[in-house]
Structures are given as structure tokens and as C-alpha cells.
Amino acid sequence: MRRIRAQLFAAVDGVVEAPDQWHFPYFDDAMGSAVEATLGRADTLLLGRRTYDSFAGAWPGREAAGEADAPFAKRLGDARKIVVSRSPLTFEWRGSEQLAGDLVEGAARLKEEPGGDVWISGSVSVVRQLIAAGLLDELNLFVHPIAVGRGMRLFEETGTAVPLELRSAETFPSGVLNLFYAPAAAPAAAGYEEARTHLSQED
């Protein structure tokens, strides 16, 4: 079964909106390698409409320009790109198609198809829905050492807890944390009586 992996840039206060306005000062070789490694395991991109429009408006031109980022742009161009939108779409970027029908049903079908990983970059609404449906296999957050102070956060105030298991953590030279999470079962019920046993008993 294919795995669906999401990768997002996040500020330390949880903001994931408009990372182009605050994350570039922290983008270094370590982060570039991490992004390329994740994309290298995928042959399909699942993108929200806004993220797709941003990608399609930039990466084909960068591939054509033939500069340092052209190989990465070509990998994006060669990948299958599935766009989530309720409105009919037409495409000029090669390998692009619109997801047919409901997102959750479509994502479940994708997981059953042969192939490599399905990669989501940004596309917060898509990520939220797949987490809620239990279809997201991995959440990769690049947590930047900056509090943006305003903007959309990944997790809304729904009143529903989302338990996660931290699979790995790495600190880049820039101070960015590269965190990998997977879905987890809810933790056992506990309160202060259980917690205080872990405090030092020395006077």
C-alpha cells in the first residue's frame, strides 16, 4: 500500500500560512536535502488548488531557465500531480490532473494503487481532512525558530485531540527542527496524581 506523506513549513507558534513570507532566511543545505529526500520517495503529488497554482506559476519556468534549481523543478514536472478542487480545472503543466470526486475517497483509492509515495506540500486544508479521516501516514514539520504572530495554523480549535507519535527529530544548523510524526492511539487517561510520581522526592 502506498503511503501519503505531508510536508509543511511551520513557525514555532504553529502558523503554516504564507511561509514564503518568513521561512526563506532559514532555508539551507540541510533543509534542501531533506525536501529532496522526501520528494525522491514520491511519484505523485497531491495538492490543494492554491498550492498547485503557486507551483505551476513558478516551477515550469525554473525548469526552463536551466539554473541551479532546474533539476528539482524537473522532478516536480515529471511527477504525477493531482489537484483537489471543487471547480473544473484546465492544466498546462504536464502530468497534472484533477482529483475525481470526494477527497477522502480519492485519497483512499490512491493508497491502494501501485507506485511510490504520495507527497503533499503545504495544502493545509487537504492535510487537515486526511488527518481527520485517518489517511495521512506521515506528517513532516519544519518548525522554524520564529513566532509569526498571525496566520492560519495547521490544527484548528475543533475540540478534538489529534494524538501523534514522534518518529524522528533533527535540528538543522539554522535552528529549524525537522520533525516526523505518525498517527498514534490516544494516550491513557492520567492526571496530576500519576504525574507527580515522576517528580523528585528529595527535599
Instruction: Please report the pLDDT score of residue 71 as a whole number.
Output: 94
From residue 31, alpha-carbon distances to 68, 103, 121 in Å are: 16, 29, 14
pLDDT band, residue 14 (cuts 50/70/90): very high
**CA 17 – CA 149 distance, rounded (Å):** 11
User: 132: Cβ–Cβ under 8 A, 6 or more apart, which residues?
Assistant: none
Report whether pLDDT(197) > 80: yes
Residue 201 has pLDDT above 90, yes or no: no
Residue 57: pLDDT over 70:
yes
Q: What is the pLDDT of residue 119?
A: 96
Per residue in 126-155, pLDDT (tens digit) is: 999 999 999 999 999 999 999 999 999 999
Sign of CA pseudo-dihedral 120, 156, 27, 63? positive
pLDDT single digits (tens) 103-127: 999 999 999 999 999 999 989 999 9
Q: What is the mean pLDDT of the chain?
A: 93
Q: pLDDT tens digits, residue range 147-196? A: 999 999 999 888 788 999 999 999 999 999 999 999 998 888 889 888 88
C-alpha cell at 67: 539554473
Nearest one of 5, 19, 14 to 153, comparing CA atoms:
14
Q: Which residues of 77-92 are buried (b: 16+ CB within 10 A; e: fewer)?
A: bebbbbbbeeeeeeee
- Residue 202 predicted with pLDDT over 80: no
Domains of the chain: 4-187 (3.40.430.10)
Q: What pLDDT sits at residue 189?
A: 87
- Report residue 100's pLDDT band, with 50, 70 and 90 as the boundaries: confident
The predicted pLDDT at position 203 comes to 66
